[in-house]
Structure 1
Amino acid sequence: MKKHNFNAGPSILPDEVIRKAAEAIVDFNGSGLSLLSISHRTKDFDEVMAEADALFRELLRIPDNYKIFYVGGGASTMFYEVAANFLGKKAGYVNTGVWSKKAIKEAKRYGEVEIVASSDDRDFTYIPKGFAIPEDLDYLHITTNNTIYGTEYHEDIASPVPLIADMSSDILSRPVDVTKYAMIYGGAQKNLAPAGAVFAIIREDMLDKIVRDLPTMVSFRTHVENNSMFNTPPVFPIYVLKETLKWLKSIGGVEEIYRRNVEKAQLLYDEIDRNPLFRGTVAKEDRSLMNICFVMADGYEELAPEFMEFAKARGMVGIKGHRLVGGFRASCYNALPRESVEALVACMQEFAKSHVK
């Protein structure tokens, strides 16, 4: 039976990328050595890093005055590193869910944090809009896609202060105006690579805004000045990231994947809205393209365990909602094929035929 991978992360990757990674594990680039045991100081891996950088720049149209670097860890590591580097007196945060709250908690270790907007009042079911941004902030931090609650920014906001964004779960899923941001970062394990690597895109002038003397590995300047090679970088995830970027370019780039993502999401949201057994959980205008959350409709709540087993039996993997929200979550990252969404929709329709009152 074909499996349909809706896991929220580590997430689905393109089949051809997985095949190339498997081949490289056995023999990297004809070297007779495994990718898992090559030196990161070799010419072959220098070329991997250079190609990843070039592809990232091309696909996101990253200007020359921005630097890209990769480090080990996850976005949760960056929560404190962003504040350690840039929070001198006061930073602003938009609170849109669990990951925003975790970033806020870490930032408070370094200075004052002002919550400039929050969707906590409605259980994080929408994205705040039209809020004022104080001009005395060191920076403003947002989380562009909220994997647990299923909300997403669909436009790049304008900010009078440096804008820093955690784009872990929607990087390269839609067009982004990089020039609106002072820094973009994220864990690679959603749309780019296996877990273990963080990507960061940082405007060069931000390196002059580092506010304190930091441990060497915490300073962003270290990684920019050493081209991500101050210590051993996460070689395997970076290689896979490079192959994922090649795949994305080969299918038509960000514009094409955005078209596909909109199409996939619309297909599933239409079924959620049409099917009497299910209902969506967030404001329609803020629905995520990446993490589609839904629950059983009123009066059908007791069917949730049965539907879960029904879906599993038909090859659906990873659709259980986060424990904080419950219900179901279909993560439709870039590499998820349309046929998997069609299979889930068919599953929902089949279940409804025998259970609608």
Structure 2
Amino acid sequence: MAHSVKGVVVMEKDGPASVVTINVPDPGPGEALVDILTCGVCHTDLHYKQGGISDDYPFLLGHEATGVVSAVGEGVTNVQPGDRVILNWRAVCGQCRACLRGRPQYCFNTHNAAQKMTLKDGTELSPALGIGAFAEKTLVAAGQCTKVDVSADPAAVGLLGCGIMAGIGAAINTGNVQRGDSVAVIGCGGVGIAAIAGSKLAGATRIIAVDIDNRKLELARGLGATDVINSTETDPVEEIRRLTDGNGADVVIDAVGRPETYRQAFYARDLAGTVVLVGVPTPEMKLELPLLDVFGRGGSLKSSWYGDCLPSRDFPMLVSHYQQGNLDLDAFVTERISIDEVEDAFAKMHDGVVLRSVVEL
């Protein structure tokens, strides 16, 4: 049986995000039907809208979501109806070479629901990151559901589904930030500020935030930055070195993803330090560095996909830190909106006046 519900769909490149009626099927084998409670408005949804990810329109937007499992298909054992879950886009297969080597966070064959959600006329929808959660219900692979404590605010913990996890994981998982480390984060949007929060959680003692917007730098300070640099006023490489006794930071995280910010990250790290790229570049961008500098500075140059997270491990751990007061996820929720305000939320995101707008259904 198909369920007719409201969902936010974009029909063509740069088209409006419109609330329409969609059809969501009952779960088949390995699938779960989820009643959505909350969903954050993420830059990735805007990229889908603008055609920056693919041209497989129409898209059902939304992916940073918390919900309640309403039904499961044959063979599903990890969740059951009534479970509170955070949705993720890394449902590991357990069979690829990464999984078999004990590195499921790098799974090469992640799962999505086999069945398609559709428009009323039967047109198949492409759900954002295989989730499509700007909707009253969505259909996902059961492995995309991670069970969490029902007492946690769904609007806050649902943000772990994408951007906040990407930032925290870039610090903790990819950058391996340790107690006493110095960390610099270039770019203080949602992902960058999450990397700052993750660095604080890991025990870094000096956390340097870099951005061109003083409003974002103040937010960064509130979530753990010990020092802030406006790179329109001060050379960030020189200032990071000054703040770290002339050495550079142990870990530098580029949360922007541009050649110029990556070069800043590369030269702002200590010898044998680590650079983490978590900001997403566009296809035409090119990076040029003297190869002798790459060799001579040593250390690690890493890219972070989804914060190198394993949702079944990381989501419950971070929710627990949130509940204990160690991780202020509430600070990332700038506003709570209805499903018909998503288009306005994209405009606010573009203007840089929100960390996250969260749709409550």
Q: TM tier, shorter chain?
A: 0.3 to 0.5
Q: Which has the higher helix share?
A: 1
TM-score scaled by length of structure 1: 0.33
Structure with greater contact order relative to length (CA < 8 Å, sep ≥ 6) = 1
